[in-house]
């Protein structure tokens, strides 16, 4: 019952605070002008009784108004209402052509069953859900990387099918979900050609999907220390600690022959990345680290990433496969030996398709 009330209150707040169109503003303003003469004609009456006598006070201002004021208010109000209705009709016709394709990735045991398509994503038009479900069949099973790769690589073709025959300006895309980091990063890379993609994520405390629209706390990433990287190194591990701290012991166990460069948040805490500005700052720091590694001669990067789903998607969208080094994104499995048993080798220049890399020694991936 509490969740129901919370949902109703949130929906009501979204409705009250939603952006008003020009047409709706004109209708509201015109309606106020039409009602104004009535409120100006009769302000009210007050009756007082002191036990012996009655005192009646009446206030009527209609007779004191200029005769031209009421007809003018009516005329202007009618014009505004008429203009607003026309604009609302035009806006409705334009919106009816638009579609919002809501992509949801479900790849973990903890993935919620609440459909993301019902979330208020502030996107116009009809909702077209695109569910990509590759969750393990039971809680005792680990993520199936082959199935995850198969599902995610079909994303572009499925998206094209949903948008087929429509003007690109009439198609909006939203993406989110809970899945293995390599799957999320790859999905982001596949969507980087889309002109505008809205990101959303699961709010664990609120038990609902939410847009990345929170306030910026101003906290950023720590400076990167490249001193561990030897001259002439052509590949390295980039450990990115954002939502939780990457275990360096697990990294060294998986990559015993490679040097590790760490990119770390000032405050490594989950559920602190609801600001679009903060996420963009993380992306900028990530790209800078990639470019610095490339400048130092690194041509293959083994990425170990601990980040929220929406930020993993955004980082994938920011990765330039034509200009940046070859990238392998790894999945962490605490009970496996090594702890990073498989990765997706991301599409790169000359290699348009992602490849599953499974190895007993992750550093030997090729």
- Tell which CATH classification among 1.25.40, 1.10.600, 3.40.50, 3.90.79 matches the domain 97-211: 3.40.50
Question: pTM of the prediction?
Answer: 0.76
Comparing CA positions, the residue from 317, 326, 315 lying closest to residue 350 is: 326
- Give dist(CA 233, CA 259) in Å, integer: 8
Q: How many residues does the chain have?
A: 366
Beta bridge partner(s), residue 132: 105
Tokens representing residue 23 in the block: 């047409």
Token code pair at residue 263: 């990119």
Predicted pLDDT at 6: 54
- In the chain, ranges of CATH 3.40.50 domains: 97-211, 235-364
Q: Please give the pLDDT value at position 138.
A: 81
The answer to whether 166 touches 99, Cβ cutoff 8 Å, is yes
Distances (CA, A) of 363 to 20, 241, 253, 294, 357: 55, 20, 10, 18, 11
Q: List helix spans (H) across 99-191.
A: 145-153, 155-163, 181-190
pLDDT of residue 20: 57
Q: What was the pLDDT predicted at 318?
A: 95
Q: At 313, list the tokens.
A: 């998607």
Measured CA to CA, the distance from residue 49 to residue 331 in angstroms comes to 82
User: pLDDT (tens digit, 0 to 9) for every residue of the chain, 366 residues total?
Assistant: 555 555 555 555 554 445 557 767 777 777 776 776 655 555 455 666 666 666 666 555 555 556 666 677 767 778 877 877 777 666 655 655 788 899 999 999 877 888 898 888 888 888 899 999 999 988 788 999 999 999 999 999 999 888 887 888 888 999 999 999 999 999 999 998 776 899 999 998 888 999 999 999 999 999 999 998 999 899 999 999 999 999 999 999 999 999 999 999 999 998 899 999 999 999 999 999 999 999 999 999 999 999 999 999 999 999 999 999 999 999 999 889 899 999 999 999 888 899 999 986 555 444
Q: Are 331 and 305 in contact (CB under 8 A)?
A: no
Q: Supply φ then ψ for residue 172, to 5 degrees.
A: -115, 150
Find all residues with CB under 8 Å of 144, minimum gap 6, and list them.
134, 136
pLDDT of residue 49: 63
Which residue from 193, 173, 202 is spatially nearest to 312, judged by alpha carbons?
202
Please name which of 260, 240, 256 lies closest in space to residue 339, comparing C-alpha atoms: 256
Would you identify the CATH topology of the domain 235-364? Rossmann fold (3.40.50)
Q: What is the pLDDT of residue 340?
A: 95
């Amino acid at each position: 019952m509490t969740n129901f009330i919370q949902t109703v209150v949130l929906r009501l707040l979204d409705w009250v605070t939603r952006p008003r169109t020009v047409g709706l503003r004109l209708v509201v303003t015109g309606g106020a002008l039409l009602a104004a003469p009535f409120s100006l004609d009769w302000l009210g009456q007050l009756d007082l009784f002191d036990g012996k006598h009655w005192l009646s006070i009446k206030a009527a201002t209609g007779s004191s108004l200029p005769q031209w004021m009421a007809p003018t208010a009516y005329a202007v109000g009618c014009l505004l209402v008429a203009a607003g209705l026309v604009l609302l009709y035009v806006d409705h016709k334009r919106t009816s052509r638009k579609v919002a394709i809501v992509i949801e990735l479900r790849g973990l045991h903890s993935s919620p069953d609440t459909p993301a398509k019902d979330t208020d994503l502030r996107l116009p038009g009809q909702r077209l859900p695109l569910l990509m479900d590759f969750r393990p069949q039971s809680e005792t099973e680990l993520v199936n990387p082959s199935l995850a790769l198969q599902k995610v690589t079909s994303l572009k073709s499925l998206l094209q099918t949903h948008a087929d025959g429509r003007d690109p300006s009439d198609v909006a895309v939203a993406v989110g979900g809970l899945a293995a980091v390599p799957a999320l990063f790859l999905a982001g890379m596949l969507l980087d050609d889309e002109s505008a993609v809205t990101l959303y994520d699961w709010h664990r405390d609120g038990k609902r999907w939410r847009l990345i629209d929170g306030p910026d706390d101003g906290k950023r990433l720590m400076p990167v220390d490249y001193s561990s990287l030897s001259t002439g190194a052509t590949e390295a591990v980039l450990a990115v600690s954002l939502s939780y701290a990457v275990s360096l012991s697990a990294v060294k166990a998986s990559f015993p022959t490679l040097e590790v460069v760490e990119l770390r948040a000032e405050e490594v805490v989950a559920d602190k990345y609801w600001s679009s500005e903060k996420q963009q700052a993380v992306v900028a720091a990530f790209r800078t680290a990639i470019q610095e590694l490339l400048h130092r001669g690194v041509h293959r990067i083994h990425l170990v990433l601990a980040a929220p789903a929406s930020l993993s998607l955004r980082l994938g969208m920011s990765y330039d496969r034509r200009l940046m080094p070859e990238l392998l994104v790894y999945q962490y499995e605490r009970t496996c030996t090594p702890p990073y048993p498989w990765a997706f080798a991301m599409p790169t220049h000359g290699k348009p398709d992602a490849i599953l890399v499974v190895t007993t020694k992750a550093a030997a991936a090729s």
